[in-house]
């Protein structure tokens, strides 16, 4: 990657230390944002990697030291399934974090995956726009992302129509396999964030990570399209994913 000055990469021995540092960064960014403007808006990803981070945030000390009442939680993407479905990213965050903290219900902006993908995407888009008011593209204070072995991030998959810059904030994604339709924020929203934090762990990500961070054509991968104009992109990577 022709490393821009606003890209930072940290390699950790294991997922535990990676997640601990991510929790520290979450707390630090939330304090700065709440101190500056009284609120902190963060979009969370699903999958397996961030589970430990959410668990740490829902436990001492973060459970009580982070000012949850001033934090608004959004999702980078969601599967179009009911909220109690094991595949639900909302369920992941509810079970690991929401049940452990005191946060106003109106601060939790989740996708209603139980509805039709287009309706769910439109409703979610309206929720985000209502929160941000009239700005064209919302500026999240933090977006937490993972990457798939195919280079997808959020639910922006290689070749998906949402890959090009999109005027929309959130769009439906119809996947052939696994046959689970989704809703995702668009790459233009990700690229307007003040902070993007990628959490990447495990050997399965080594090749795609090398291609994205050091390969000749990072933009061949949706995660390689993440390039914030005025923000910072931080990669937290464990040793397995970092490879040699």
By the criterion CB under 6 A, which residues form the site for ligand 6PG?
45-49, 76-77, 89, 146-148, 152-155
Query: Residue 32 Cβ, how far from ligand 6PG at the closest point, in Å?
Result: 25
Q: Which residues contact 191 (CB under 8 A, 6 or more apart)?
A: 225, 226, 227, 228, 229
Query: Residue 202 Cβ, how far from ligand 6PG at the closest point, in Å?
Result: 7
Query: Residue 76 Cβ, how far from ligand 6PG at the closest point, in Å?
Result: 6
Query: Residue 242 Cβ, how far from ligand 6PG at the closest point, in Å?
Result: 15
The smaller minimum CB distance to ligand 6PG, of residues 33 and 155, is found at 155
The smaller minimum CB distance to ligand 6PG, of residues 103 and 143, is found at 143
The smaller minimum CB distance to ligand 6PG, of residues 47 and 215, is found at 47
Query: Residue 208 Cβ, how far from ligand 6PG at the closest point, in Å?
Result: 10
The smaller minimum CB distance to ligand 6PG, of residues 23 and 70, is found at 23
Three-state SS letters, the chain: CCCCCCEEEEEECCHHHHHHHHHHHHHHHHHHHHHHHCCEEEEECCCCCCHHHHHHHCCCCHHHHCCHHHEEEEECEEECCCCCCCCCHHHHHHHHCHHHCCCCHHHEECCCCCCCHHHHHHHHHHHHHHHHCCCCCCCCCEEEECCCCCCCECCECCCCCCCCCCCCCEEEECCCCCCCCEEEECHHHHCCCCEEEEEECCHHHHHHHHHHHHCCCHHHCHHHHCCCCCCEEEEEEEHHHHCC
Query: Residue 154 Cβ, how far from ligand 6PG at the closest point, in Å?
Result: 5
The rounded distance, in Å, linking the Cα atoms of 81 and 210 is 33
The smaller minimum CB distance to ligand 6PG, of residues 18 and 70, is found at 18
The smaller minimum CB distance to ligand 6PG, of residues 138 and 146, is found at 146
């Amino acid at each position: 990657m022709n490393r821009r000055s606003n890209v930072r990469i940290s390699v950790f021995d294991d997922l535990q230390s990676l997640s601990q540092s991510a929790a520290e960064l979450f707390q630090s960014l939330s304090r700065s944002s709440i101190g500056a403007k009284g609120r902190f808006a963060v979009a969370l990803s699903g999958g397996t990697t961030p589970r430990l981070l959410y668990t740490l945030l829902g436990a001492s000390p973060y459970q009580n030291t982070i000012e949850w009442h001033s934090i608004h939680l959004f999702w980078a993407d969601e599967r179009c399934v009911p909220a109690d479905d094991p595949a639900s990213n909302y369920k992941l965050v509810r079970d690991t974090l929401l049940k452990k903290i005191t946060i106003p219900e109106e601060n939790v902006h989740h996708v209603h995956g139980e509805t039709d993908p287009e309706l769910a995407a439109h409703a979610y888009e309206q929720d985000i726009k209502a929160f941000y008011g009239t700005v064209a593209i919302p500026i999240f204070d933090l977006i937490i992302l993972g990457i798939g072995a195919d280079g997808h991030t959020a639910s922006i998959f290689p070749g998906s129509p949402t890959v090009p810059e999109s005027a929309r904030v959130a769009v439906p994604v119809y996947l052939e396999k696994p046959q689970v339709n989704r809703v995702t924020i668009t790459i233009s929203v990700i690229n307007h964030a003040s902070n993007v934090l990628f959490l990447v762990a495990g050997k399965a990500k080594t090749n795609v990570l090398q291609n994205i961070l050091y390969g000749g054509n990072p933009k061949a991968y949706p995660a390689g399209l993440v390039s914030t104009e005025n923000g910072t992109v931080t990669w937290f990577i464990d040793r397995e994913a970092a490879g040699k």
